């Protein structure tokens, strides 16, 4: 009550502290508590500040009851006035007033309740964290399992890829002998005892040219899978697109005439750094597609020229076109077009996928502009 507080005040000693003056140090024997009348102090353990206290705050009160060493140091942050109550004076007050003891017990019990609440909160947090840790561990184990499965699948894919390359090697070497035989037979026909007609000579020239191209393709293992594996080191040289288109047209002129197709060309000298085998295959595939999907009497347009600072090859037909929902898929592997009952349907193959791979390998781009029922236009661009 008020009278007891007045007696406590009568026992307080006023202490004036300068800025940065140490009030007591960690490890010193506790023998008094302090009330801050004015100023500010910091409670610290070495350089680590635990808290800062100001006017009306109290510190060191445990030393009135317990004589253990101080658990932290206290230093004035500003010039401060403190009220000091020693343990001996406090003991005298306690012996005279039971109400003082009850008040102290009440304060301690409030602190205990507060600590119990904190402990309960910490316990709940610990349970929550434990659940999260178990969940994280379960996810980590799942990820490790998936990683192991992916490594096993990757190993299987590598094995399959090696087997595929082995098969490609067998096929390529197997083609060498019949190709060589065909070239020999073509030479024998050309140099045979009987003179050839002009048409026969033209056909034989086409056959011979095709055989030479096949030989080059085999020598470079011309396959889209080889490009994927980045095994091929391309031989790049300056090539005139006009020359490539004209040579490819020689091979297709007969079938163009047989199918009653009209041919319109705009071929100009335009040079780009290309691989000879790849660019011939690109032009051949695009022209073959245009012929395949063109109706008799329709026109195929071919151009090679400079456009927008690039070397541009254009192949346009007036065929069945491509549905809008299929345009983005036409360069996917094994997705070429088959004309069946006047409908465009997916069919296994490598036609346009090879075009895409070869053009990309040579540093170019290929796009398709089309409208179903009207025709398709393929644009191939390379840096000049």
CA distance 141 to 42: 48
For residue 80, what are the β-bridge partners?
Answer: 17
Pair of tokens at residue 343: 């409908």
pLDDT bin (cut points 50, 70, 90) of residue 348 is very low
- Kindly indicate the confidence band of residue 284, based on its pLDDT and cuts at 50, 70 and 90: confident
Q: What is the pLDDT of residues 64-75, one digit of tens each?
A: 888 788 999 999
What is the DSSP pairing of strand 299-307 with strand 80-86? unpaired
Lowest mean pLDDT among 122-136, 187-201, 219-233, 283-297: 219-233
* Most confident range, picked from 157-171, 197-211, 242-256: 242-256
CB-based contacts of 201, cutoff 8 Å, min separation 6: 190
Q: For a pLDDT cut of 90, what percent of the chain falls above it?
A: 32
Between 241 and 229, the more confident residue is 241
Query: Which pLDDT belongs to residue 271?
Result: 95
Is residue 341 scored above 50 in pLDDT?
A: no
Cα separation, 86 vs 33, whole angstroms: 7
Whole-angstrom distance, CA of residue 371 vs CA of residue 356: 20
Confidence of residue 147 (pLDDT cuts 50, 70, 90): confident
The percent of residues in the chain predicted with pLDDT above 70, rounded, is: 84
Q: What is the DSSP letter of 236?
A: -
Mean pLDDT of 212-224: 62
**pLDDT at residue 47, as a whole number:** 92
> In sequence order, which residues have a C-beta less than 8 Å from that of residue 225 and are 6 or more positions away?
164, 165, 168
Q: pLDDT tier at 372 (50, 70, 90 boundaries)?
A: confident
Lowest mean pLDDT among 261-275, 280-294, 304-318: 280-294
Q: Round to the nearest angstrom and report the end-to-end CA distance of the chain.
A: 100
20-78 pLDDT tens trace = 999 999 999 888 999 999 999 999 999 999 999 999 999 998 888 887 889 999 999 99
Highest-pLDDT range among 143-152, 174-183, 270-279? 270-279
Q: What is the pTM of this model?
A: 0.46
Q: Is the pLDDT of residue 269 over 80?
A: yes
CB 30 within 8 A of CB 68: yes
What is the number of residues in the chain?
A: 384
User: How does the average pLDDT of the chain come out, rounded?
Assistant: 82
Q: Is 370 exposed, middle or buried (0-12, 13-18, 19+ CB in 10 A)?
A: buried
């Amino acid at each position: 009550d008020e009278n007891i507080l007045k007696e406590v005040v009568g026992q307080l000693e006023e202490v004036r502290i300068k800025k940065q003056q140490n009030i007591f140090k960690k490890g010193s024997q506790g023998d008094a508590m302090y009330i801050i009348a004015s100023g500010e102090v910091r409670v610290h353990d070495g350089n680590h500040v635990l808290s800062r206290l100001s006017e009306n705050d109290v510190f060191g009160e445990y030393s009135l009851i317990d004589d253990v060493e101080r658990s932290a140091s206290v230093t004035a942050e500003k010039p401060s006035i403190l009220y000091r109550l020693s343990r001996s004076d406090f003991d005298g007050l306690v012996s005279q007033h039971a109400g003082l003891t009850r008040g102290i017990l009440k304060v301690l019990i409030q602190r205990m309740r507060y600590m119990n609440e904190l402990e309960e909160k910490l316990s709940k947090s610990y349970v929550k964290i434990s659940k999260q840790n178990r969940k994280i561990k379960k996810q980590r184990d799942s990820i490790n399992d998936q990683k192991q499965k992916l490594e096993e699948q990757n190993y299987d894919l590598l094995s399959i890829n090696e087997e595929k390359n082995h098969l490609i090697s067998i096929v390529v070497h197997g083609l060498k002998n019949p190709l060589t035989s065909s070239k020999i037979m073509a030479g024998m026909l050309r140099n045979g005892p009987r003179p050839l007609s002009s048409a026969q000579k033209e056909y034989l020239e086409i056959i011979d040219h095709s055989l030479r191209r096949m030989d080059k393709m085999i020598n470079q293992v011309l396959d889209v899978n080889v490009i994927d594996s980045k095994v091929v080191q391309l031989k790049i040289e300056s090539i005139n697109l006009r020359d490539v288109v004209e040579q490819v047209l020689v091979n297709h002129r007969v079938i163009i005439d047989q199918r009653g197709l009209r041919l319109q060309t705009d071929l100009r000298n335009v040079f780009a750094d290309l691989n000879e085998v790849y660019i011939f295959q690109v032009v051949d595939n695009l022209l073959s597609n245009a012929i395949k999907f063109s109706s008799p009497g329709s026109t195929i347009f071919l151009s090679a020229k400079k456009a927008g600072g690039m070397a541009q090859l254009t192949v346009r037909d007036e065929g069945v076109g491509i549905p809008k929902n299929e345009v983005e898929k036409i360069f996917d592997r094994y997705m070429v077009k088959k004309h069946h009952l006047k409908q465009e349907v997916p069919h296994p193959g490598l036609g346009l996928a090879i075009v895409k791979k070869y053009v990309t390998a040579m540093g170019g781009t290929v796009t398709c502009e089309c409208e179903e029922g009207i025709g398709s236009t393929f644009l191939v661009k390379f840096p000049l």
